[in-house]
Amino acid sequence: MIQQRIRKLNNPDILENENNQIYRTCFDILMEAFPKENFTSKQIRDIVITMLLTASESISIAMNFVIFMLANFPKVQEKVLEELLEIYGTETIKSVPIKYDDLQKMHYLDRVIKETMRIFPVIPIIGRQAKEDLKIGEVILPKGTNIFIPIIKMHRNEKYWPNPLMFDPDRFLPERIKSQSYYYIAFSDGPRNCIGMKYAMMSMKVILATLARTFVFKVNKSVKIDEIKLKFSLTISTEKPLKVKLEKRYFQ
């Protein structure tokens, strides 16, 4: 694809037609920057592969936990459905396509996703390097120090999150999150935070709103969050699969 695009870049007639297209992908934008920024083919390839893998894998991991939380906490699932009924009504709730404006009204679903990612951050640990001497309390980290930030420890710290292993989406109500926003970094933070954050939230809302209108999520037995044993690598996973039953949802 990169070599084909390079040939097109060298053909003014083809390039002029393509510049008139309304929708441009990330790949198009990267290739436009190819001659200006002195990118190599390998750099372009690595960026595209990174975006594809991180977007697909991270969303699927987060979805796995969110669906289990909905199944594990039926009252939360019911509140999600109530919100969807307010948006779509009962007669056409399954058939109406989800639009961008609808996503802006899914406030409770948004909080459910965020609370799930607080307890189960997809990327549990991130790394940074100090660009200058950094003083934290009485300690000075010299320039060049590699720093590891355990997001999952911060998200489960009772100093910042009372009763941290209780699943409570209302922690993310606007009036409550103000004092805790510094301690929630599910998508990292700063200049190198997740570039796909908005895309990920939109995708998860679309998928979850579609599934929740079609199915009821259930578990054979409720599981306490502290009973869910985790494994860590670059991403988070569970030692045992989280099993959920799907039943077709009916509306009277």
- Cα dihedral sign, 110-111-114-119: negative
Q: Burial level of 71, CB count in 10 A (0-12/13-18/19+)?
A: buried
Strands 125-129 and 134-136: unpaired
Supply φ then ψ for residue 38, to 5 degrees.
60, 35
> Out of 3.20.20.70, 2.60.120.10, 3.30.70.260, 1.10.630.10, which CATH number does the structure's domain 58-124+154-248 have?
1.10.630.10
Is 167:76 a contact under the CB 8 Å cutoff?
A: yes
Supply φ then ψ for residue 105, to 5 degrees.
-95, -5
Supply φ then ψ for residue 144, to 5 degrees.
90, -5
Judged by average pLDDT, the poorest of 34-48, 122-136, 219-233 is: 34-48
Q: For residue 48, what pLDDT band results from cuts at 50, 70 and 90?
A: confident
Longest dimension (CA), the chain: 65
Distance between CA atoms of 242 and 151, rounded to whole angstroms? 22
Tell me the sheet residues that pair with 149. 126
Average pLDDT over residues 124-149: 93
Per-residue pLDDT tens for 137-180?
999 999 999 999 999 999 999 999 999 999 999 999 999 888 77
Distance between CA atoms of 153 and 118, rounded to whole angstroms? 10
Nearest to 218 by CA among 83, 64, 68: 68
146 SS3 class: strand
Q: For residue 241, what pLDDT band results from cuts at 50, 70 and 90?
A: very high
Q: Which residue has the higher pLDDT, 122 or 181?
A: 122
How many Cβ atoms from other residues are within 10 Å of residue 151's Cβ? 23
Domain ranges of the chain: 58-124+154-248
Known binding-site positions:
194
pLDDT at position 41 is 82
Is 48:33 a contact under the CB 8 Å cutoff?
A: no
Is 237:112 a contact under the CB 8 Å cutoff?
A: no
Known binding-site positions for heme:
194
